[in-house]
Amino acid sequence: MMFKRKLAALEYPVKDFNVNDERECRSLILWLEDQKIRHYKIEDRKGLRDVDSPEWNNSFCQYLHDLACPVQSEKMTEQLEWLLSFSVRVEYADNVDKYKNQTAEKVKKPELSAPKVISSNPLDNLDFESPDFKKGVNALAQLLNVTAHPDHLITLKAISKVVCQRLSADALENPQSVIVKGKPFPFQEADLGFDLGDYVLNQAAKILRLLYIHDVRDLQTKINECIVAVQSITANPKTDTKLGKVGK
């Protein structure tokens, strides 16, 4: 599959080319030289033509050298990648007038277009801006005691958070794990540290500060968990005493 596009562009007649089959790779290289590259004279292609010969690799190495192939790797896939790209360039150079005016729109064929995927997920067919959808979001928010936002998508995000945290399978099995315990913090009486000149804005700023502190604490908890996980690995290293040396 990795060479499929280039092989199709070069109109290679073998449909199911197997890059892992050495004989098929040799046959492809011979075809590229015979049909596209034509660097050698016909009589000089004998070494490449005998694809079953044990000396074929030597002929191929000489062929790459004669083409000034820049690939240093000895992997057949990388060498083939370069040969196919080189063949495409040669094909274009030989038919400049044929290809210079071609664009993606002109060469696109109906049978090559991306297939239309029909999803079985009903959510993919929803209109998220329809009045009915907005009405449904607001009704669900009211049912879950979630304050509605002017943007119904933000309201939906809040609903999703409540469902994931409070109505998940684990939360329903152990409700006590999601119930906030402790004395409520009197944020209205807390000192903001600065004055915005408006009571409502000051209260909103206090709430934002508390949310920020909550996020920072959550991040710190995750960092601590990562540290503990790494320490559990590094604190008990396995030592191979057989590798040690005694004396000089």
Question: DSSP letters along 94-149, please?
Answer: HTHHHHTT--HHHH--GGGSPPPP----GGGG--TTSHHHHHHHHHHHHHTTPPP-
> Looking at per-residue confidence, does 60 or 125 come out higher?
60
How confident is residue 103, by pLDDT bands cut at 50, 70 and 90? low
**Cα(186)–Cα(233) distance, rounded to whole angstroms?**
43
Query: Is residue 241's pLDDT more than 60?
Result: no
Q: Residue 147 pLDDT more than 70? A: yes
Is it the case that residue 90 has pLDDT exceeding 70? Answer: yes
Q: Indicate the length of the chain as a whole number.
A: 248
Whole-prediction pTM value?
0.41
- Going by C-beta distance under 8 Å and a sequence separation of 6 or more, which residues neighbour residue 150? none
Of residues 44 and 175, more confidently modeled:
44
Task: Place 239 in a pLDDT band, splitting at 50, 70 and 90.
Answer: low
Residue 83 pLDDT greater than 50, yes or no: yes
